[in-house]
Amino acid sequence: MVSSRLLFDLLCEWNRWAGQRGKVLILIVGFSLISFVFAMVLRLGDVLFFENPDWVGSEADFYTLSSVYDDGRQAGVSQQTIASLKDLPYVTDVAWLRTRTFDFRSNDYALYQPLALVFEPHLVDLLQLEFPATDKRSTGVWLTQRYWREAFNSDPEVVGKYLTHEKLSNSVPIRGVLPQQFNRIGPWSPDILLPADYLRYVTPFAPSSTLMIDRFLRSVPEYYGFFKTRRPIDVERLSQEMRNNDFSVQGMQVESHGGELNIFNGIMLDQKSATMLKQLWTFSVLLVIALVSIFSLNAFMSFSNRNLLLADEYRVLQTIGAQPIDLVRPVIVASVIKMGIIALISLGLNVLASHFISMNVHVTRLDLFSLDGKYPYYWALSLVFITLIYATAIIFPLMSLRKKTLFSRVMGTNRGYKQLLVGQGSLIFQLSIAIIATIAAIQISKQQLALFAPFNFNTSVQQVVINHHGGRLPIESIEDVRNDDTNNALALSVAPFDKPQTLSVGARELGFEREFEVHYVSQNYFNQLSAQVSADTRDWKSGVVINRTAQQFLAENRFNIRATPLYLGKILGSHRIFGVVDDIPHGGRFKRDQPTLYLPLSTVFSTPQSYTLYLDERMDVSSSGALQNYLDTHLVDAQITSSSTLKAVIDAQEARAQQLFYFSISVVIITLFGIALTLGYQVRSRLQLEKADYGVLIAIGAPFNALLIKACKPIAMGFGAAVIVTFAGYMLLVHLGYLHHVNLASAINLIALVLVGLITLSAVVLPLLKLTRSQVIDLIKQE
């Protein structure tokens, strides 16, 4: 016999949840998910809105001055522009940094053009950077830990050794190895950190031309400025004011890169990643709201139903002398154990998610969810949050028990009006989520089907990426370089096949705005890929080729593609549409329907850092004399960095997309399964409460249909309300501009409704069938 009070409490709780233990498990998993996602929301929110990057030591509020392209990429501004900040009375401190490759050499190690983060020495004080040997910050070089490991084989004697540079008369001492957080700064993985003075030696001017060097360094738009102010400022307003100023340097004409000056709150070097993180954060917030709503309502309903079923037991216990604490204690003991399990699962989810994120998503902060960072505080906070929700779900139904009289011969209980209302609300909410999850599942499955679609272009074409250190390929002569065996011409693009630039096309006044992928390609690109274009690209010198998806998108937005030129922003200007090409799945067949633009290479504004060649699979790049000659003639130090067929490139993309697909489909299936189970339990406990009514109906000869109608009535009403709520939500999202266009009567929506309807119906029919198989006398008998 169990004598221990604790064990007896647990035994009672275990028995009291008989028939509902699956639901308890779902609640535990659900609350674990809430805890995990909520902790993630808090941590991400901290990083996005309050915290400086981990390589910055100061916790002060900073602003970043840089420029930004139409597609959200950031670029630098001139020193002159940054220096102008010092004239503003409320700006207290300014410093800058920039990146540049420096051709440092070493006698002991093979170094290849290390990427340097060049900093103004004052930056160390301003941002309180954790620098070794900070007293000598104006000379020398600091190695990042990654570069020290990779290029210097983690040599412990590296400090004090010297690097040389052809333009420097003196060697440069290595001052130290930087802490790990300098391995990643904004979008860069710098190899070394270098004081600003060294920039003077790598300008196009002779060292004696001091004035020209100063002017050049002041005018090149490569610097990112950081500043502090006495009081918070309106960044939009200051950005606008600065855009109206002329920051050109007298006597120095420097090509602009076309970005627009912009001031950001905080230290911002990678706005694109920050935007992605913000989207992830917003999605997580919505997920938390949905999960909290579903599981807190479910928990409330579970405890409410349980207390109704246990009301008689509690009454008996009180009659024989149980104090209120004797009734509450078992619930508390069991809840503490459940909380422990929830904490462990949420921690496990964190480990899994960190692993998944580090494998699949590029994030600037790999320590984001690290257990030795700030995450544990937020995790603990999320557990407190969960405990509060759970405690509320337990306490309110328990309080209603206090109103019951202790002595009554009438056993059995009925639900109150409020409980029915909460139950129905919970049902509507869960069914709405089930409908949305099913629509998502079908859409994802439809995408999966795309993997079986045949390619509409030649995937055996070889892609070769060429990096260089100067020069520019003459586009017009690329077609003269022919495959030795096949005599086929080569095609060329600026970015690799699967790494397009993006551009926001459209404007508010046009009534549409959407991100398009952009590829700068040579005239024979489509020919080389055997892709079908509506016009003869042999005459393609100007204008833009769009893909079918882009054509469809523009047509849907009543854009006349024959008559109206397409405006592609300030830098690219307007372009007439030259032709339409079949959709080429650059990002894999999952992302086939991505609106894409192809522009002739002649429209590339700045000198490309790399080129991508497209040639016949059989052609051996390394042995092609004509190609090598062509590259060596026009590029400095041209190097083939990667070579693979387009099939291999797409396979890699699809493998990644497939992982995401399996992840999303698992989430959807778990959600649906969870909702189906909780619905089943909800109906079961409802039937349990009303079993005497059903017993009477069966006893007086009611057919199964009558019982089914009685059981289905509240569920059917809930289902109808859920359909209305879901589609009203869709319409609202369309109205607010978050969704483009929704066809409510689409096949996917209808299939989803039928599926959820069937799941709901089976959640009613199965327990009802079980109930009708019971002895009528057992149903009517009060326990």
- Residues of this chain that bind another protein (CB under 8 A): 1-5, 8, 12, 15-16, 18, 312-313, 316-324, 326, 405-407, 409, 411, 782-783
- Given the complex with another protein, which of 110 and 410 has the nearer CB atom? 410
- Given the complex with another protein, which of 411 and 709 has the nearer CB atom? 411
- Given the complex with another protein, which of 8 and 457 has the nearer CB atom? 8
Smallest distance, another protein to C-beta of residue 783, A? 6
How big is the CA angle at 506 (ends 503 and 510), to the nearest 5 degrees? 175
Smallest distance, another protein to C-beta of residue 340, A? 24
Smallest distance, another protein to C-beta of residue 15, A? 4
Smallest distance, another protein to C-beta of residue 310, A? 10
Q: What is the dihedral of CA 766, 772, 774, 778, to 10 degrees?
A: 120
Three-state secondary-structure class, residue 287: helix
- Given the complex with another protein, which of 316 and 399 has the nearer CB atom? 316
- Given the complex with another protein, which of 89 and 321 has the nearer CB atom? 321
Smallest distance, another protein to C-beta of residue 693, A? 19
**Residue 714 near residue 424, CB atoms below 8 Å:** yes
Smallest distance, another protein to C-beta of residue 409, A? 7
Smallest distance, another protein to C-beta of residue 755, A? 37
Give the other-Cβ count within 10 Å of 256's Cβ: 13
**What amino acid occupies position 300?**
F
- Given the complex with another protein, which of 208 and 782 has the nearer CB atom? 782
Smallest distance, another protein to C-beta of residue 404, A? 11
Residue 250 burial (C-beta neighbours within 10 Å; 0-12, 13-18, 19+): exposed
Smallest distance, another protein to C-beta of residue 19, A? 11
d(CA 177, CA 152): 11
**Residue 143 near residue 177, CB atoms below 8 Å:** yes
- Given the complex with another protein, which of 8 and 201 has the nearer CB atom? 8
Query: Which token pair is 437?
Result: 């999850």
The phi and psi torsions of 778 (rounded to 5 degrees) equal -70, -35
Q: Are strands 610-615 and 491-493 parallel, antiparallel or unpaired?
A: antiparallel
d(CA 35, CA 382): 5
Smallest distance, another protein to C-beta of residue 688, A? 13
Query: Which token pair is 202?
Result: 């790598």
Smallest distance, another protein to C-beta of residue 731, A? 46
**The residue to which tokens 């939009």 are assigned:** 236
Smallest distance, another protein to C-beta of residue 401, A? 14
The phi and psi torsions of 203 (rounded to 5 degrees) equal -95, 165
- Given the complex with another protein, which of 11 and 717 has the nearer CB atom? 11
- Given the complex with another protein, which of 16 and 257 has the nearer CB atom? 16
H helix or E strand, kind and range, residue 640? strand 639-645
d(CA 610, CA 497): 12
Smallest distance, another protein to C-beta of residue 285, A? 42
Three-state secondary-structure class, residue 67: strand
Is the dihedral angle over the CA atoms 477, 483, 486, 491 positive or is it negative? Answer: negative
- Given the complex with another protein, which of 4 and 560 has the nearer CB atom? 4
Give the other-Cβ count within 10 Å of 754's Cβ: 11
**The residue to which tokens 């139950």 are assigned:** 423
- Given the complex with another protein, which of 318 and 504 has the nearer CB atom? 318
- Given the complex with another protein, which of 409 and 741 has the nearer CB atom? 409
Smallest distance, another protein to C-beta of residue 4, A? 7
Three-state secondary-structure class, residue 463: strand
**DSSP symbol at 265:** E
Q: Are strands 141-143 and 91-101 parallel, antiparallel or unpaired?
A: unpaired
Smallest distance, another protein to C-beta of residue 322, A? 5
**Residue 715 near residue 424, CB atoms below 8 Å:** no
Smallest distance, another protein to C-beta of residue 1, A? 5
Distance of CA 468 to the CA centre of its chain: 32
- Given the complex with another protein, which of 322 and 391 has the nearer CB atom? 322
- Given the complex with another protein, which of 4 and 743 has the nearer CB atom? 4
d(CA 543, CA 562): 12
- Selection from 759, 132, 39 nearest residue 373 by Cα: 39
Q: Are strands 610-615 and 462-467 parallel, antiparallel or unpaired?
A: antiparallel
Beta strands in 105-206 (DSSP E): 115-119, 141-143, 162-163, 172-177, 192-195
**Residue 159 near residue 175, CB atoms below 8 Å:** yes
**Residue 236 near residue 262, CB atoms below 8 Å:** no
- Given the complex with another protein, which of 59 and 783 has the nearer CB atom? 783
Contacts of 395 (CB under 8 A, 6+ apart): none
- Given the complex with another protein, which of 373 and 412 has the nearer CB atom? 412
d(CA 522, CA 653): 24
The phi and psi torsions of 598 (rounded to 5 degrees) equal -120, 125
- Given the complex with another protein, which of 110 and 406 has the nearer CB atom? 406
Query: Which token pair is 248?
Result: 């050109």
The phi and psi torsions of 464 (rounded to 5 degrees) equal -125, 120
d(CA 212, CA 700): 104
Smallest distance, another protein to C-beta of residue 422, A? 26
Is the dihedral angle over the CA atoms 369, 375, 381, 387 positive or is it negative? Answer: positive
